[in-house]
Chains A and B, each alone.
Chain A
């Protein structure tokens, strides 16, 4: 700003609320309503279908089979992921395991590989692989980092004095772990398992590749074959109910209470457990995990890249896909972050019951599977707003709904670090509320906003389900091209696309690992 000699008269208009606040609230409410559109759609569909038809479509053998498969998938994958992640987190954070830092990175790195690329790699390795067993195995290697990240962060934040205290009260080391450490990991475990559960319900590519049917794959099959929605709507309804069950179970297990760290003393650095003669035998666990979660994708991709040679690098097609992907990712990422700004600001600066409720709406909306979001937007645009059908605007809205919490988390954290006094100082120097907000908080929260754009863009890059259903005609993102080629069994041709997605996702993995360290203050 150049020298602003603000000589406004003193009879300024009077507001009851700061103008910035009321505007922000309005925008936040509108965005929330848009985000809840898919949920509203499912309810509308259930209502419009009518009781008899709904019962007929829901209570049939096909739905029963899907239900059994989905429940088995969730009930098998989540305990295995939990056991694996807690053990790995303990090994890397609390023991003298050789190369613990390296293993810690390798436990997060599988996130850089999109779930459907994991599946593609396993199919390339064992061509006949299919069914529930395969689904569980691939889901574990693709999703366990969602639990490893929060659990290892929680391990770092535990107060070791509590463990000493428990030992002085006569508890043997294993009892200390069970009665003091595990209960304090509960929040991290709950959050991580919920995230994995929602991914299991929402994922399409992973399961379609190994011919394992879940509600999501069934909805897409239905959508692609008949286009007549009612059956698909009813499957979506059941899927949404499954999500609600997961959310409810998680909320119940988590309880309403957070574990405050009592006292003010600085936490002593945690002591490291000596593994002794178990040191090398226990290396097998991270080694095997890395072999399956990173080795198999690396080997398969490497194999196809070598086998395909230069012929598979059709630069015109790849370049086009890459360009389109980057444009969609950036637009989507910026839109998502911009949509998150009002609620992020409200939840920090005007934290009250209604802003918390509003925030909850965003999280609820984003926990809806991509297929439901896409189905809702397709139906609404076709029926009501045809000009918007398969346009950039619609697909960006889908991304906003699905990825807003990613941007929200980063933005909130960095806005909370900007003291409100700066805004007040700007106001006292004659800036209007909006201007004061822009020139202080928004400027200083820029790193958080950048992280928000990055996190949501990279989510968009690897998104397949909704992108396939909503993308404007002629669009071919990396994920779509990969999927099309591998569906035609052109595994070699698909490999370059997978490699590009992995390369672009690596910084995301670094960012997540870095953030989890920062949370723990290291």
Chain B
């Protein structure tokens, strides 16, 4: 079942391809996140879906209806797609109540009532309804922007880095409450962000975008554990990529013989381990041993460089909990839990 379908969308700005053939299917009521470094084209994609820009090629289908293709497009105001922008984008000349009621075509009283109802839904005090946007904090502005976008019960909600202007503590809390509100309303949502943690925490479906294309689309856990290439792996979190010889579900690597997630593959390949799969021990062991290099103190953990024994002197960095306090030059044994991922 597909609610929103994008088929090979293309868009250029001058000689630069902002979107270079993007395909995506979004299930009804789901939460998708598009994540990528800044300048990868994710905001352009959102603007095409919202109807602010026109694709040069490709189609956008919303709920079975073509809203944009090479022939023409449904203008933004007829799409009923809500959008919450990075800075909230509240109308500075209107009060909070008027901002929320802006898109409604009902009587003034009905607008006021709906505004009050939405304020409660996004967790704001009704006393704020008469304020102007510049009298609100950043987090409050974002919630009002969400309420305003929700007021018309949109078919699809687009969130364009809505949490990036907030400070760290507020960000997680706002993200949680926004996700809850949208789930409760059952609205299909697409979040665009450059923050991989935010994307992983928010989405049912994650799309990693790079240079105008989707590098990979899938469930967040799958994409994190089994990325298609080293760049995607590194974008989603710390990645340890090792050369290995794979055979019969096992890989011979600088960390010894490791189980991998491919049964049938055979030959030379790179394999991926996440740092949380690795544990270290002070006593030297049988499997893989190494030496501690530079240690940078970082509060609860220490950013520690580990160099493996043997040819090539392969090294990587780990966050080691402070209680295991290692010092430069310490000898350690390294063990791996779980399977390594093979890049084919």
Contacts and interface: CB of A to CB of B under 8 A. Distances in A.
Interface in A145-186: 159, 161-162, 164-173, 175-176, 179-180, 183-184, 186
B87 A264 contact: yes
Nearest to B98: A179
Interface centre among A161, A172, A183, A257 (most CB of B within 10 A): A161
Interface stretch (B88-96, B212-220, B227-235, B316-324): B88-96
Task: State the majority secondary structure of interface residues on B.
Answer: loop
Contacts of A262: 87-90, 92, 133-134, 141
B87 to A, nearest CB: 2
A157 to B, nearest CB: 12
Contacts of A175: 77
Interface string B233-277: 000000000000000000000000000000000000000000000
Nearest to B43: A268
B81 A260 contact: no
Contacts of B47: 164
Contacts of B172: none
A161 B77 contact: no
Nearest to B136: A262
A167 B76 contact: yes
Contact of A169 (B85, B92, B152, B165): B152
B97 interface: no
B152 A162 contact: no
A171 B83 CA distance: 14
Contact of B152 (A170, A172, A261, A263): A170
A229 B251 CA distance: 108
Nearest to A171: B77
Given A167-B75, A170-B103, A262-B133, A162 B91 contact: yes
Contacts of B52: 164, 167-168
Contacts of A179: 102
Nearest to B82: A168
A320 to B, nearest CB: 55
A260 B83 contact: no
A168 B92 contact: no
A263 B87 contact: yes
Interface residues of A, number: 28
B86 A166 contact: no
B51 interface: yes
Contacts of A261: 92
A167 B105 CA distance: 14
Nearest to A183: B93
Given A257-B132, A260-B134, A262-B141, A168 B81 contact: yes
Contacts of B51: 167-168
Interface string A344-370: 000000000000000000000000000
Nearest to B90: A262
B103 A265 contact: no
B50 interface: yes
B50 A169 contact: no
A126 interface: no
Interface in A20-62: none
B143 interface: no
Interface in A258-280: 259-265
A176 B51 CA distance: 15
B208 interface: no
Nearest to B145: A165
A162 B132 contact: no
A373 B134 CA distance: 42
Contacts of B83: 164-165, 168
Interface centre among A172, A180, A265 (most CB of B within 10 A): A265
Nearest to A179: B102
B85 A165 contact: yes
Contact of B89 (A161, A172, A186, A259): A161
A166 B81 CA distance: 11
A173 B78 CA distance: 11
A170 B152 CA distance: 9
B25 interface: no
Interface string B44-85: 000100111000000000000000000000011111111101
A259 B93 CA distance: 6
B91 to A, nearest CB: 6
A497 B326 CA distance: 90
Interface in B29-54: 47, 50-52
Nearest to B83: A168
B76 A164 contact: yes
Contacts of A166: 77, 91, 102
Interface in B103-134: 103, 105, 132-134
Contacts of A170: 77-78, 80, 103, 105, 152
A471 to B, nearest CB: 47
Contacts of B87: 161, 262-265
B11 interface: no
A184 B93 CA distance: 7
B9 interface: no
Question: Counting chain B CB atoms within 10 Å of each CB, which of A162, A169, A179, A265 scores highest?
Answer: A169
Contacts of A257: 132
A168 B149 contact: yes
B148 interface: yes
A169 B105 CA distance: 11
Contacts of B93: 183-184, 186, 259
Nearest to A187: B93
Contacts of B133: 262
B61 to A, nearest CB: 18
Given A167-B52, A168-B50, A168-B149, A263 B77 contact: no
8 contacts: A165-B91, A169-B82, A170-B152, A184-B93, A259-B93, A262-B92, A263-B89, A263-B165
Interface of B: 47, 50-52, 75-83, 85-94, 102-103, 105, 132-134, 141, 148-149, 151-152, 165
Interface of A: 159, 161-162, 164-173, 175-176, 179-180, 183-184, 186, 257, 259-265
Given A168-B83, A179-B102, 17 more contacts: A161-B87, A162-B89, A165-B83, A165-B91, A167-B51, A168-B149, A169-B149, A169-B152, A170-B80, A170-B105, A172-B77, A183-B91, A257-B132, A260-B92, A262-B89, A263-B89, A263-B141
